Structure 1
Amino acid sequence: MKNNKDLTQRRARLTPEQQQRLKQRLQINSDRMHQKSTILRRHASESALVSYAQHRHWFLWQLDPQSTAYHLSGVLHLLGKLNAEALQVSFQALVARHESLRTVFRANAEGLPEQIIESEGKFELTMISLCDLPAEQRAQRARDEAMRINATPFDLTQGPLLRVALIQIATEEHHLVVVMHHIISDAWSNRIIIDEFAACYRAHIEGESLLLPELPIQYADYAQWQRNWLEAGEKDRQLIYWRNQLGAEHPVLQLPTDYARSSNSSYRAAQHDFTLPDSLATRLQCQAQDRGATLFMMLLAGFQALLHRYTGQGDIRVGVPIANRHRAEIENVVGLFVNTQVLRNTIDSR
């Protein structure tokens, strides 16, 4: 008690500037302690609440269970001899290794969504053969089948939330279609799945055993740690920070080329791809390096300047997806970690 009283008196004697510096140092130390806090494995008998990112997707799915807006899909074009058994075994190993790939969701007695991690059951691979069709029809039919598989809604309470289909076009030509709901995966996770699938498949056809490094945690462990961390005060600290950064008003850009906003969201958007000339890309890279910046920062600043030119508004905010994988434990874990970062730039006519 005496030590606490002494500290209080000493702090009271500090000038406002000294108190502010002390507060900043204490905050830095607090942040470091948060970063060093260990993500522990949860006991198998414990209920697994969803992460904040998963909670958003649970809410959106309940609003529109038939929506396919948050389906993650991809198609691999495979040429050459294919070992279907090795493919099946490889995906079975992935499902056993990553709990997210065998997770469904239910509401508990309090109405809060929970992760239900199912046992390592048998993985089901859908096989579709188009070899009986005329050759000129197979490519289009394969695209139609892939679109159908992706457009089939997921039931988050039933699962599985991972679909894999092998479409055979010819003896040595296949399309591998993989579809997941975003609530169990993200773009970074897709890369993990592809890399580990390739390693498992190669090991199986070569008759070798593959020993992937053991995962230190699973996604449900991270979700529990995240909730404990944020609810212990970190959430309030971050909320104060972002309110200070972004303010209370969030102006909508008035683009002269924009369309009237529809009352119904279709989740459909156009896409325009273009490639910068090599000479321009090189000059931009050099400019970024000279200023201690990245090429992404240069391109974002240019985009924000363009929006300023079109709108005449000086407060330009762009939402950018971030991987959100700043901890070593989660680097190789499949799950929904991605978040959207608001990057604000204040621009004047100069």
Structure 2
Amino acid sequence: QVVARTSGRGRVVFGTVLFGRMEAGAGGDRTMGLFINTLPLRLDLDDTAVEDSVRDTHGRLTDLMAHEHASLALAQRCSGVAAPAPLFSSILNYRHNAMPGDLVADKDGSGIEWLGGEERTNYPLMLAVEDYGQALGLTAQIVRPFSADHICALMQRALDQLAEMLEHAPRAPVRQLDILPVEERQLLLEAWNRTHAQYSGERLFVAQFEAQVRRSPEAIALVFGETELSYAALNARANRLARRLRDRSVGTDIVVGLAL
């Protein structure tokens, strides 16, 4: 839902990290090294009920395990997405981890001291859910100018809302899951949306609009899709419409239907 709402799409594809050992075969548990693989997962954020969507996601992840050793190049060919366009630009990793406080230097007297670690990914967005056994955490890496803290806040809100809806409204559409923290919603709708202004009641709207046309004729007045109209262009169109109406004897108090 975070990817869907921040990208404006109802169908999203992101990479999910697979352990790689579920289908490793006999002796796989004794083989050293990484079996980890990353494959695409597609989800639809639509009118499907939250409960059904969660079950569907679980089912898709389960089905994906049968292909956990498939190469990403094979997935790319099967997708029909022509290279070099990537199948996904964000990955989600659920991983079992240790709490930072548990990583005590030389805890068992072995002479090995934990100094720290740093990870990197070549994807623009990596989000990891850290399972500490008794608690969950979120770790994000994201390219600038976006903030990892911001992405984690959106994800935490989405998870809180998911838990609440599963408990109280499991049949509500999954697309209604809210991702905006309360503070950010107030910032967007209130702090940044304080557009109240005092207008003189002595001048009609038409006069105020024409004054704006004189002040900034090339400024953008309207935007719809790829179309933009400046104040000057909008004023010219309005004047042409007014002349057409006048030529057809349309005057004060005559109702005119508009098809837009």
Say which structure, 1 or 2, has more relative contact order (CA 8 Å, 6+ apart).
Answer: 1
Which structure has the bigger radius of gyration? Answer: 2
Name the TM-score class by shorter chain: under 0.3
- Flag the structure with higher helix content: 1
TM-score normalized by the length of structure 2: 0.25
